[in-house]
Amino acid sequence: MGSPFARPWFTDGNVVKRSRHVAAVFASYGLSALAHRNGLAAATPWLRPGPKRHPKPAEGLRLALGELGATFIKLGQTLSTRADLLPADFVTELAKLQDSAPPISLQAVVETITADLGAPPDQVFARFETVPLASASIGQVHAATLADGTEVVVKVRRPGVVEEVERDLEIIERLAQWVQKHTAFGHDVDLEPLVAEFAYTLRNELDYVREGQNAERLAEAFADDARVWIPRIHWDFTTERVLTLDRVGGVKVSDLAALDRVGVPRRTVAENAVRMFLHQLLDVGFFHADPHPGNFFIQPDGAIAVVDFGMVGRVSERVRNHLLRAGLAAVEQDAETLCEELFALGVAGRRADHAAFTRDLDHMLGRYQGRSIGELSAAAVTRELSAIAFRHRLQLPGELALLMRVVTMSEGMGLTLDPDFRYLEFASPIIRARWKQDHSLRAGVLRVGRAAADAAELGLELPRRTGRLLSRVERGDLELKLRLDGLERLSLELEGMTNRLALAMVLAASVVALAVALGVHGLRGVERYLSVLFVLGFVFSLAFGGWLLASMWMARRR
């Protein structure tokens, strides 16, 4: 398969125009040199230095992504969670990306609400504030009141954002495909699944029905916990482009002075926040994945109200069990077991060195030996683990990278509330209790029961499935497909060798034919014309041979 850059990438004129604009913005922040240093010059032929100032590469990348709008802002925020893939200075800089945008015009807001809810906002709501509370790249928020007096907020999706996101995702996907096939970075990192996961997450954020469902799932998980409050979704006033939910009051978790004024103990808030996160991780397997301070409001009784459910994460039972075992291995200074559990989670690159990775983990654990769990920082351990993964070109699964980001941010929130708060010290007893619960006799009996039921069901289904399989074999419908890593690259190399051999044979035949023709007699009267033909043929043969040698030399260098 040839490179998509050997021909125009796209057939859609708008996409071509957008791709050139993206390249121009990157170039204007001095990122053309960064592309050349990382072997991306061939993938970005339009990159030329622009007239703007050239900040440091990490800062330039943040500024460029922020200028390019919704898709690239979300991409930067996602990359800020991937310390296993990017250098620390890029991760730190991208974490500063703020999702803000100019307000949507009131006319566009009215048109969207009218089209989706069947009437303009002044007829749908008893009161509708025309000045937005906040405006972001995907949508903006307005305060409103329902006919029964309920105070709500209404999120309205920005017009044209879906088309913009789809266009930008196409550019990102094509670039990822090229990088995957033609650069050393792409050889080490499996980019296409990362881009697919990013695209899936972003498309979900565009759908406000999905966000409402996320909120309801978390509300159900905390239905019996008065320390956490999730706003109610008003489905009669919610569509894919409009989301209506209860308005959240209270004090922002970052407003420490206001918390002190209302008399809410900061320590209580920090502990409630950690319990909330651990319950989502250990019990629900579904968690709010954007825990920045603007999404949490503290109630007078210390309860935490949560908003913005567009970004969520999921943790399967298998992943949770491996995480628990990895945490216990870290506490017990068992580098070998920690390595095995991380590899079981999918932390493995194409050139992973198991022994070297274990050795680095052992050195990391050795630095923490003799220190109590209360002296350890979850953020510091996470950063060091990510640095080791980056050094070994290991790739963390998306759910694990997102989880590590949430751990770091939630610990930071706890320390902001109470500088003496020890995240791991507080969380450790909860995690150990959950481990004991999962490995109790009752849990074991339940697991055995489920396994026996699955085995019985398989035993009943096996004869029928075996019969279907044998029938397909008899009909000749059964096909065996093998996938061998590196086979495509080998096939391309063999194809190139065959093409060069064929060209060499043609070149040799041309030279021999010219030599034979020069010795032929009986062509008097046309010598002048033949001499011109022979000269042209000779020059062509020399040029052809030179090109062949050059292509062989370039292929050897690649």
pLDDT of residue 11: 47
Q: HSE-up of 44 (CA within 13 Å, CB side)?
A: 27
Residues 192 and 169: their CA atoms lie apart, in Å, by 12
Residues 481 and 388: their CA atoms lie apart, in Å, by 36
Question: Tens digit of pLDDT for each residue in 95-109?
Answer: 888 777 889 999 999
The single-letter code of the amino acid at 28 is: S
Residues 161 and 337: their CA atoms lie apart, in Å, by 46
Beta bridge mates, 143? 153
Per-residue pLDDT band at 92 (split at 50, 70, 90): confident
- Residues belonging to the active site: 290
Identify each DSSP E strand in 240-326 by its residue range.
242-246, 251-252, 286-288, 296-298, 304-306, 312-314
Mean pLDDT to the nearest integer, 245-260? 90
Domain range summary for the chain, segments of one domain joined by + = 315-438, 491-557
Question: Tens digit of pLDDT for each residue in 5-22?
Answer: 333 344 466 777 888 888
Helix (H, G, I), strand (E, B) or coil at 150: coil
Q: DSSP letter string over 491-519? A: HHHHHHHHHHHHHHHHHHHHHHHHHHHHT
At residue 3, does pLDDT exceed 50? no
List CB contacts of 392: < 8 A, sequence separation 6 or more.
Answer: 349, 352, 353, 356, 357, 360
Q: Which residue has the higher pLDDT, 309 or 353?
A: 309
At residue 264, does pLDDT exceed 80? yes
Question: Tens digit of pLDDT for each residue in 432-470?
Answer: 887 777 766 665 566 566 666 666 666 767 777 777 777
Residues 436 and 250: their CA atoms lie apart, in Å, by 37
- Sequence length of the chain is 558
Question: Tens digit of pLDDT for each residue in 138-148?
Answer: 999 999 999 99
Write out the two tokens for 395: 């790739």
Question: Tens digit of pLDDT for each residue in 327-342?
Answer: 777 767 788 888 888 8
Mean pLDDT to the nearest integer, 270-286? 89
pLDDT of residue 192: 81
Question: Tens digit of pLDDT for each residue in 161-198?
Answer: 999 999 999 989 888 888 777 777 777 777 888 888 88
At residue 496, does pLDDT exceed 70? no
Structure pTM?
0.71
In the chain, the percentage of residues whose pLDDT exceeds 90 is 22
pLDDT of residue 16: 78
| β-bridge pairing 304-306 and 127-128 | unpaired
